[in-house]
Amino acid sequence: MRRAAFGVALATLIPHQIARADEASQLPLKLTWNAPATCPTAEDVTDRVRHLLSKPPPRGATVTATARIRPVADDRVELVLTTEVADARGTRTVRAGSCTALAEAAAVFIALAIDSTRDARPPAELAPSPEPEPEPEPEPEPVAPAPPPPSPKPSSPPAAQPVAAEHQASRDLVRPGAGVYGVFDVGALPDASAGLALNVHLRMARIRAGLVGSVWHAQQPIFDEKRGAGASFQMRTAGLFGCYVVPFGRFDVGACASVEARAVEAAGVGIRNPEVARAIWPAAGAGGLAEVRVTRWLGVVARVDLLAAIGAPNIALATANGNATLFEPGVFSLRSGVGVEIVLP
């Protein structure tokens, strides 16, 4: 008898628990979520809404929400969230530094909208209770705004348009750019020298990485003033660089690292049998970057770098009395530059 009673109690308890679990898992929510591929999905937002609701969601009233996330200026993203509850409609716009923060904000707004239907429904359902007649009970059924929300279904055909916008938004997060600089260097050659530098790079959120090359003005230092003998030095460089940049309004400030190969050519000047000496050596360094954005696609950039030569050889020219050392490159050189950079759309 005990086993039979236990079986009956278990049979009545399990369906009740399953029914309550089904009720809690279903949200009165129709969510249209348009966001870049790197952002949380609509399922993530729905799970977060379910987690935020402290009680099982009310049945009958449906919240229709449409959310769109897109990148804006200053490497930030923007959320535009529209919610509809019965005849009430509201729109919120929020900006943040990441999609995750905007997804959390959207979940909070949607949870509040669902809770508002909980507060609005009890008076309508309790109103028929004083009346003994059963006729008023069916009246709450037409009150449920479930039929009107399907009207957003016509918006499903234009869903191709948000998908295209999503791909365009994710594409905007990686933008190519190019820059031209006037540069000045102390330490790489016998005398301070000026040159011209060009770069091509990619901007990925706060990361910038690219290729850079430079050509330097030739200089002719004199090593023997009595004879007027010296040499003409010409330097060219090519290398890679990477920067991490933090935006402050229209300004960007960041730290950079770079490596380069230096090709130096020295030719004798004022000697009887001039020769040409060539040498190539690497250098690596770090520095800082500052940019002022004039427009969305044009900025003025300044950079300062401290570079260290790696295994730089002495540059010497052959003479009648043997090799004469013309220049011993120092270990460190200081380089600065100011220029403009164009960011392609």
| Domain edges within the chain | 29-117, 175-343
The CATH number of 175-343, from 2.40.110.10, 2.40.160.20, 1.10.340.30, 2.60.120.260, is 2.40.160.20
- The three-state secondary structure class of 206 is coil
Structure confidence at residue 308 as a pLDDT band (50, 70, 90): very high
Write down the pLDDT at residue 320: 53
Write down the pLDDT at residue 134: 56
Write down the pLDDT at residue 157: 46
pLDDT over 50 (residue 168): no
pLDDT over 90 (residue 263): yes
pLDDT over 80 (residue 122): no
Q: What is the distance between the alpha carbons of residues 229 and 1, in angstroms, rounded to a whole number?
A: 119
Write down the pLDDT at residue 284: 97
Burial class (CB in 10 A: 0-12, 13-18, 19+), 30: middle
**Of the ranges 10-19, 80-89, 201-210, 263-272, which one carries the lowest mean pLDDT score?**
10-19
Q: Which of 12-26, 86-100, 240-254 holds the top average pLDDT?
A: 240-254
Q: In the CATH hierarchy, which fold is given to the domain comprising 29-117?
A: Double Stranded RNA Binding Domain (3.30.160)
| 269, 303 contact by CB (below 8 A) | no
Write down the pLDDT at residue 324: 62
Instruction: For residue 196, give both structure tokens.
Output: 């011209």
Write down the pLDDT at residue 53: 79
**Average pLDDT, rounded, for the chain:** 78
| 277, 266 contact by CB (below 8 A) | yes
What is the per-residue pLDDT across 288-302, written as a single tens digit (0 to 9) for each?
999 999 998 999 999
